[in-house]
Amino acid sequence: MIVTKHALPRRTILRGVGATVALPLLDAMVPALTATSRTAAAGTTRVAFWQTANGIYGPDFKPRGEGTNLKSLTLMPITMPLQPVLDHTVVATGLSNLAAESKQVGSGVHARAASCFLSGAAARRTEGADIELAKTLDQYAADVLGRETQLTSLELALESSFVGNCDQGYSCAYVNTFAWRAPTMPLPMENNPRIVFERMFGDGGSVEARLGQMKRDRSILDRVSADLAGLQKRLGPGDRATISGYLDAVRDVERRIQKAEQHSATTPLPESAQPMGIPESFPDHCDLMVDLMFLAYQADVTRVITFQTSREQGGRQFPHIGVPEAHHETSHHQGDPYKIKQNSKINAYFMHLFATLAAKMQQAPDGDGTLLDHSLLLWGAGMGSGDIHSPHDMPVVVVGGGGGVKGGRLLKYALDTPFMNFALSMLDRAGVPIERMGDSTGRVTDL
């Protein structure tokens, strides 16, 4: 990074009628020869928590071979997509969320596993409004990392929410989200790319008002063109190229959202169709959400993201990867090789999306490194084996170098080591110290 004598503010915002566009870290934001330059060049810590539902098939997740160096081990189908970011990857085994088990009530395990994932706590069994869990890890991170960002956190999903009783006496609130601001305050997850885009780049007002304005007005970037023209005169060639690439990505995402909306407006859809702004093609929907997350990190709109790739007991099918069966159905394989293969294809696809985000961040400069160098992205599930609904031996992957985490390693813990111990160590690395969480008994020492 080239430091300059005259620096732009780190939070430089382009403004227009009803629009704001935050800029990524530029050379012009790093003043020369000051303590501030060292802070800016070091980048900022970002964290993500991705959750997949219905557990996994463990042998298709755990790398095989001797030792702990991932490069010397054989990656299995679910972890194979991590190959491009393997140097930044930590795979952990043996971790468990025992609070998801219920000694009194055997039913409702899907709700308990989903809600326990980032809380380490047992959900209150209720179908009514008296839901109760615990504040989740992501929101502790948001308290610290979200102090200087437009959005303290961003909660995203790929499926619509449900209401009522979703799992044997447990409210749907426990499976609709795994992010809780407080013990009685679940945070809704948004699956509509247009609404996410408007939250990131809209300038105040209600979502409905901004959506209406978008239909009447020009694009986001057209509305900030005056601010952009003035800014360009103050930047060097390198910064102009950085902004050009970033704004091209913003415009591309907006164009793809508009295309989905136009299709929804002109094509008759069944009553169960998703809301406007969600592409008809599920892979296109997934790619849009990944690109929105990348833009949110790049522009420092938020530093904390939770993403629910699938919902517990979900019936989504995946024909684009050769899986016409429902997700939940494949998780109960009972040793059937075909169902095992189909279930692992689904989890490998979600891991591919996760690795795609990491790879994008690996290519994006940020301070004295890349976005990935300064981030910690966690992928996991509330269950280990989906076939037997087990909260033991959960699949856990962390990608990124934030806080000095070293990648390329397999960490093997004794079975039923609390996942909360590992999660607290991860947050320590991110600069978010928490004394304890759920059933934590301390920290792991090797992350």
Name the residue with higher pLDDT: 217 or 166.
Answer: 166
> What's the number of CA atoms in the CB half-sphere (13 Å) around residue 248?
6
Give the three-class secondary structure for 185: strand
Q: Which of 66, 6, 56 is nearest to 30 (CA)?
A: 6
Residue 230 tokens read as 């003035």
Q: Which of 101, 116, 117, 107 is nearest to 169 (CA)?
A: 107
The share of the chain scoring above pLDDT 90, in percent, equals: 62
Q: What is the pLDDT of residue 270?
A: 39
Instruction: Give yes or no for residue 314 having a pLDDT over 90.
Output: no
Q: What is the pLDDT of residue 442?
A: 97
- Listed by start position, the domains of the chain span 1-42+195-277, 46-191+282-447
| Whole-number Å distance between alpha carbons of 312 and 293 | 22
| Whole-number Å distance between alpha carbons of 352 and 83 | 10
Q: Residues 296-313: what's their mean pLDDT?
A: 94
| Whole-number Å distance between alpha carbons of 139 and 42 | 24
Average pLDDT, the chain: 87
Q: How many CB atoms lie within 10 A of CB 217?
A: 15
pLDDT-based confidence at 423, cuts 50/70/90? very high
Q: What is the pLDDT of residue 39?
A: 45
pLDDT tens by residue, 189-241: 999 998 999 889 876 555 555 555 555 456 788 888 888 888 888 888 888 88
Q: Which of 426, 406, 370 is nearest to 145 (CA)?
A: 426
Q: Are 54 and 113 in contact (CB under 8 A)?
A: no
Residue 315 tokens read as 């019936």
Amino acid identity, residue 35? A
Name the residue with higher pLDDT: 18 or 234.
Answer: 234
Q: Are 328 and 336 in contact (CB under 8 A)?
A: no
46-191+282-447 topology per CATH: Alkaline Phosphatase, subunit A (3.40.720)
Name the residue with higher pLDDT: 205 or 16.
Answer: 16
Alpha helix (H) residue ranges in 399-444: 419-429
Rounded to whole angstroms, the maximal C-alpha distance in the chain is: 67
| Whole-number Å distance between alpha carbons of 269 and 426 | 44
pTM of the entire predicted model: 0.89
Residue 335 tokens read as 């040793």
Q: Residues 177-187: what's their mean pLDDT?
A: 96
Q: Are 393 and 94 in contact (CB under 8 A)?
A: yes
Residue 196 tokens read as 């996410």
| Whole-number Å distance between alpha carbons of 397 and 411 | 10
Name the residue with higher pLDDT: 259 or 305.
Answer: 305
Q: Residues 111-115: what's their mean pLDDT?
A: 92
Q: What is the pLDDT of residue 372?
A: 97
Residue 218 tokens read as 């020009």
Q: Which of 54, 64, 59, 110 is nearest to 335 (CA)?
A: 59
The share of the chain scoring above pLDDT 70, in percent, equals: 87
Q: What is the pLDDT of residue 38?
A: 40
pLDDT tens by residue, 24-72: 888 888 764 354 444 445 568 999 999 999 999 999 999 999 999 999 9
Q: Are 77 and 348 in contact (CB under 8 A)?
A: yes
Q: What is the enclosing helix (H) or strand (E) of 317?
A: strand 317-318
Instruction: Give the chain's length.
Output: 447
Q: Residues 252-281: what's their mean pLDDT?
A: 66
pLDDT tens by residue, 347-361: 999 999 999 999 999
Q: Are 140 and 290 in contact (CB under 8 A)?
A: no
Lowest mean per-residue pLDDT among 106-110, 144-148, 241-245: 106-110
Alpha helix (H) residue ranges in 217-336: 220-223, 225-232, 237-266, 282-298, 327-331
Lowest mean per-residue pLDDT among 179-193, 269-283, 390-404: 269-283
Give the three-class secondary structure for 211: helix
Q: What is the pLDDT of residue 37?
A: 44
Lowest mean per-residue pLDDT among 33-47, 140-154, 392-406: 33-47
| Whole-number Å distance between alpha carbons of 356 and 263 | 26
Q: Are 261 and 215 in contact (CB under 8 A)?
A: no
Give the three-class secondary structure for 170: strand
